[in-house]
A and B are shown apart, each in its own frame.
Chain A
Amino acid sequence: MPISIHTKNLRKTYDYFKKEAGLTGSIKSLFWREKLYNEALKGISLEIEEGELVGFLGPNGAGKTTTLKILSGILYPSGGEASVLGHIPWKREPAYQKQFSIVMGQKNQLWWDLPAQESFTLNREIYEIEDKTYNYNLEELTELFDIKDLIDIPVRKLSMGQRMKCELAAALLHSPKVLFLDEPTIGLDIISQDKIINYIEEYNRLKKTTVLLTSHYMRDVERLCKRVIVINHGAIIYDGSVENLMTTYADHKIIRLRFSSEFTVNGLEKYGEVLERDRLSAVLKTSKSDIARTTSRILNDIPVEDLSVEDVDIEDVIKKIFTG
């Protein structure tokens, strides 16, 4: 498979001014400011093949979004090389811009007061999409994302999940070869989150579009991507298969318990590591491999009103990768 995205030692340093808190600080900063530097990327090197679906994982401020922004030409890097589809992104050549799309979970690209359909027709002009292709893609995307009834409603009236589906459709109308997704599921409830993930998966399978996706939800990446790149403090700390990452690092689950009556007996330790504990509730960390057995034992032994099982936080997984 040919290489679609390539970076070598990509670096980005932001400069900003130090400002002390309070009004005095603000006034002082008018006259004297100390320039500070924040190294957001400290040499990112990666290669992504055509048609790959890669998850970019890391806590907030790790450099995921910065990388995506450099690859889409929004930001200029401070050093290093990058090429996407043979183009240098920050030259912002229309020939490149017509071949990729970026969708950002927190930035709305559709016209807020108008139905999504109107933004679609505008995109047809912007990307100079041929009528035949446009009609075909529109049909296909509305079908695939199940948005036939939504595209005639003003965007502001849609729910977040519905809006994200329309955002995705708008970004895919010109059949991009590369798709950057920055936190596409942020703020969505679990059902919408799953749907979006399904659609992305389905689209990638159908079109062989290269997808680079950032998320700080473990489950998105776990379900969607074969390959995952973990980044923290601006450097890649893991690049490989999801299975390997999960078995190696996220080998625990979190069990949250609420007791039906005050439960003061000790001995929760035998089910797992006790993270939090008070009279009516407890949080346990337990091995992933025998989670089913542990929960059934808890339900048997203790008067529990509510029990939920959650993944370990991605931040914890990364912390673990760091500490060893």
Chain B
Amino acid sequence: MLRIITRYLRLYKAFLFQSLKEDMTYRSNFLTLVVMDIGLVSISVILFKVIYGHVNTIAGWTFHQSIILIGTVGIVREMAYLTFRRGFLELGNHIRTGTFDIFMVRPIASNLHLAMRHLSLSESLGEGITGIVLVVYGILHLNNWSWISFPLYILLLFNSLMVYYGFSLIINSIVFWVVRSQELNTIIYFFMETSRYPADIYRGIGKVIFTFIIPIGIIATVPASALTGRLGWDFAILSLIIGISFLGIGLFVWKMSIEHYSSASG
């Protein structure tokens, strides 16, 4: 087990360097993307500022707690781009043109190879940076913040990444049957967009759906709740269980689906 982990860490490093070299060949693109991301995040902050001009809390969340939430979404998205996100965006092309073949013949797990082949630092770097800035800014304005919540926050961030990855695996596995992935990734994009709002706004059946079926609630709300002292242990543990289950189901569905790959010729 340890051997496998060190092997994949080495591979990750090698692929990341490779991607960085590739990114640098298109430097102007790099800068545009960063500026665009910062712009997009600013829009959500302004939106929240306007809303909070009229109310003190949304579903119990204060303005600064919401800022941490938005920042957390940015951090999770950056983490996703640094691991698996762009691989899934390219998956449809790989399958349609048959270049997915390469992922089937290398002595690496196909899902991890796909992820590492398309690592991207630049694509949401702006969001990552502004995310960290917003979280730090939010923390500085909290009055009940304690250092203890920080390790839990980090742990839950990785849990969110697992949920996000598991969900993406499940949705993208459909591509082996329908061949085009554009629409599928729009679903995932929509799902991530919605994660900007506190999951506490959902009630009743909505809460069940957005926790267990489409786990939007887990992605940003749970880590942000932990950091702002709003999360109970019971829900933290439940989130971890959901995270592991989603990853497990995702990997299983993926394994079943690649058997259906019918490599295009030419």
Kindly supply a per-residue 1/0 record for chain B positions 15-33, scoring 1 wherever the CB is within 8 Å of any chain A CB and 0 otherwise: 1001001100100000000
> What distance in Å separates the Cβ of B116 from its nearest Cβ neighbour in chain A?
10
Partner of A74, one of B14, B25, B261, B266: B261
B204 within 8 A of A: no
Partner of A122, one of B15, B105, B263, B265: B15
Q: What residue in chain A is nearest B109 (Cβ atoms)?
A: A94
Partner of B18, one of A73, A107, A111: A111
B11 within 8 A of A: yes
Which residues from B are CB-within-8-Å of A74? 101, 104-105, 261, 263
A118-B25 Cα distance, complex, nearest whole Å: 14
Find out whether the CB atom of B102 lies under 8 angstroms from the CB atom of A107. Answer: yes
Kindly supply a per-residue 1/0 record for chain A positions 85-108, scoring 1 wherever the CB is within 8 Å of any chain B CB and 0 otherwise: 000000010100110111010111
A276 within 8 A of B: no
Which residues from A are CB-within-8-Å of B108? 94, 126
Which residues from B are CB-within-8-Å of A136? none
Find out whether the CB atom of A97 lies under 8 angstroms from the CB atom of B106. Answer: yes
Q: What residue in chain A is nearest B26 (Cβ atoms)?
A: A113
| Number of residues on chain A facing chain B (CB within 8 A) | 31
> What distance in Å separates the Cβ of B90 from its nearest Cβ neighbour in chain A?
13
Find out whether the CB atom of B101 lies under 8 angstroms from the CB atom of A121. Answer: no
> What distance in Å separates the Cβ of B7 from its nearest Cβ neighbour in chain A?
8
Find out whether the CB atom of A111 lies under 8 angstroms from the CB atom of B11. Answer: no
Kindly supply a per-residue 1/0 record for chain A positions 104-128, scoring 1 wherever the CB is within 8 Å of any chain B CB and 0 otherwise: 1011110101100010011001111
B259 within 8 A of A: yes
Find out whether the CB atom of A125 lies under 8 angstroms from the CB atom of B11. Answer: yes
A65-B266 Cα distance, complex, nearest whole Å: 10
| Number of residues on chain B facing chain A (CB within 8 A) | 24
B141 within 8 A of A: no
B10 within 8 A of A: yes
Find out whether the CB atom of A118 lies under 8 angstroms from the CB atom of B18. Answer: yes
Q: What residue in chain A is nearest B266 (Cβ atoms)?
A: A106
Which residues from B are CB-within-8-Å of A94? 107-108
> What distance in Å separates the Cβ of B134 from its nearest Cβ neighbour in chain A?
33
Which residues from A are CB-within-8-Å of B185? none
Find out whether the CB atom of A69 lies under 8 angstroms from the CB atom of B263. Answer: yes
Which residues from A are CB-within-8-Å of B101? 69, 74, 102, 104, 107
Find out whether the CB atom of A75 lies under 8 angstroms from the CB atom of B107. Answer: no
Find out whether the CB atom of A121 lies under 8 angstroms from the CB atom of B14. Answer: yes
A65-B101 Cα distance, complex, nearest whole Å: 12
Task: Report B224-255 residues with CB < 8 Å from chain A CB.
Answer: none
Interface set of B (CB-CB < 8 Å, partner A): 7, 10-11, 14-15, 18, 21-22, 25, 98-99, 101-102, 104-108, 259, 261-263, 265-266
Interface set of A (CB-CB < 8 Å, partner B): 14, 65, 69, 72-76, 92, 94, 97-98, 100-102, 104, 106-109, 111, 113-114, 118, 121-122, 125-128, 154
17 A-B interface contacts by CB (under 8 A): A73-B104, A74-B101, A74-B104, A74-B261, A75-B263, A94-B107, A107-B98, A107-B99, A107-B101, A107-B102, A114-B21, A114-B22, A121-B14, A125-B14, A126-B106, A126-B107, A154-B25
